[in-house]
Structure 1
Amino acid sequence: MHPVAIFRHSPTEGPGYFAIFLEQQGIPWKLIALDEGAAVPATIDGFSGLCFMGGPMSVNDPLPWIEPVCALIREAAGKNVPVIGHCLGGQLMSKALGGQVTRNPVKEIGWSGAHGEDNAIARHWLGDFAGKSGTVFQWHGETFSIPTGATRLLANGYCANQMFVLGPHLGMQCHVEMTPEMIATWCEQWADEAIAVADLPSAQTPDAMLAEIPAKLPVMRQLSERLYSVWIKGLAR
């Protein structure tokens, strides 16, 4: 089968557990490192799916690759080629599909809870997590709107739109792809940002995030495996 294209926008925001999951399923993938100047492919031909990772920039920034990426997402949506986005990736999907990305009322940083919607589409994607609370990881200050025709899957009190689906496409504001190594790197790289807002109930200090990895990561991994398992069913084999 053709590989899944994984777009990286920042050196430390790689595919994490998403790539591990693909490899466990025998699904090939190709990294497209936009942060290193890689060109956005002119077409989705040759790829079975598209995955977009996080990044510290905004989709509203005047970056040269934003519109080509959005065009690629729209092409994939038109051809029913599955797209998945994590944080910035989910915001790119919303923008490409007609939504808007705006400042969130508060920054969300660290481990948090989120509640699954309870409807037929949510039950398909979330399984046992539909209608229940789950654990996710956050690091964002902006939020996306739900594109027309899409369905919200996950929400919490600090950011209403945590996740949406549109056909085979899954856009997420939260980070379900985290590994212990990624969390440690982010806590070191962006410690000042986290500490500056750590008095908010929506944020944690780096020490708190690291201390909760043993308890929180296995719980989140169950959610990510469920989501990724449903998503890969849309890939052309």
Structure 2
Amino acid sequence: MKIHCFQHVEFEGPADIAFWAATRGHTLTYTRFYQHEKLPELAEVDFLLVMGGPMGVYDEHYYPWLSEEKNFIRKAMGSGIHVLGICLGAQLIAHCAGAEVRAAPHKEIGWFPVYATRESAEVPWFERWFADGLMCFHWHGDRFELPIGAVDLARTAANDHQAFLLNKRILGLQFHAEVTADALEGFVANGAHELVSSAFIQDATSICSPEQPVQELNVAMHQLLDDFLTQ
């Protein structure tokens, strides 16, 4: 399978998804927008992965490449290939599907459990990982409304709409299940100014603690990816 990754900043790459892709024999190529790299030909992509970043979906004035990225995402969503968005990526997908993206009631930074919604029973391969709550990593201040026709999959104590599935092949995850220890260090190093005292913002020590369930989360992410790609 040919996977193409849209990466917006150096410190938010595919992380453990790259390891998963290698173990499955998939190829992984990139458009690194921060390096002004070109978009691929859609015909050469089987699975589009849209990563996160500190910018917002409406920030074309500061990041002009957002316009061409959105156009490509819309085409990909209509082509029948698999599309996965993580954090900003999920917001971009929702936005391209006509849903509103705005500031979340609570900024979430750190490790907090994600719970399945009632509606997620329609998607058992997703629900089983979140039925009792799965500890996931978060770093976001915005949230998406659900696109028309999407299944609302997950929530947290701070915010609803943490994941959605649209047309079986388009998945948005507001949280980060792809993180590694190195990725966490990158988040903290580049976003330290956001680590202010708040009910849903943890400090750097807590975020990067070796006690955090990184490996368990990666196991779940690998299986989610395998199951998603069979849909």
Q: Shared topology, TM-score over 0.5? A: yes
Give the structure 1 partner of residue 199 of structure 2. Answer: 201
Any unmatched runs of 5+ in structure 2?
Answer: none
Contact 2:135-2:217 within 8 A present in 1 as well: yes
| Residue in 1 that maps onto 2:182 | 181
State the identity as a percent.
27
Q: Secondary structure at the match of 1:45?
A: helix
Q: Contact (CA 8 Å) 1:116, 1:122: kept in 2 or not? A: no
Partner of 1:182, secondary structure, is helix
Report what 2:52 is aligned to: 54
Give me the TM-score of the superposition, normalised by structure 1.
0.90
CA distance in 1, matches of 2:184, 2:80: 33
Deviation per residue, 1:203-227 (Å, 9 max, x gap): 100011112x434213322321222
Q: How far did residue 233 of structure 1 move?
A: 2.4
Per-residue Cα deviation, 1:157-199 (whole angstroms, up to 9, x for no partner): 21101111111111111111101001012212222211x2xx3
Aligned residues: 227
Task: Quote the residue 2:213 is aligned against.
Answer: 216
Q: 1:108-147 residue pairs with structure 2 within 5 A? A: 108-118=108-118, 119-126=120-127, 128-147=128-147
Q: Which consecutive aligned stretches of 4+ in structure 1 deviate over 6 angstroms post-superposition?
A: none
CA distance in 1, matches of 2:83, 2:95: 13
Q: C-alpha separation between the residues in 2 aligned to 1:8 and 1:173?
A: 16
Take 2:186 and 2:171, find their aligned partners in 1: how far apart are those partners?
26
> How much does 1:124 deviate?
2.8
Structure 1 unaligned runs (5+)? none
Quick check: 1:122–1:130 contact (8 Å CA) kept in 2? Answer: no
- After superposition, the C-alpha distances for 1:37-63 in whole angstroms (9 at most, x for unaligned) are 11234x411111100111110011123
What is the identity, as a one-letter code, of the residue corresponding to 1:4? Answer: I
Shift of the alpha carbon at 1:130? 4.6
Deviation larger for 128-137 or 180-189: 128-137
Paired with 1:34 and 1:200, the residues of 2 have a C-alpha distance of 32
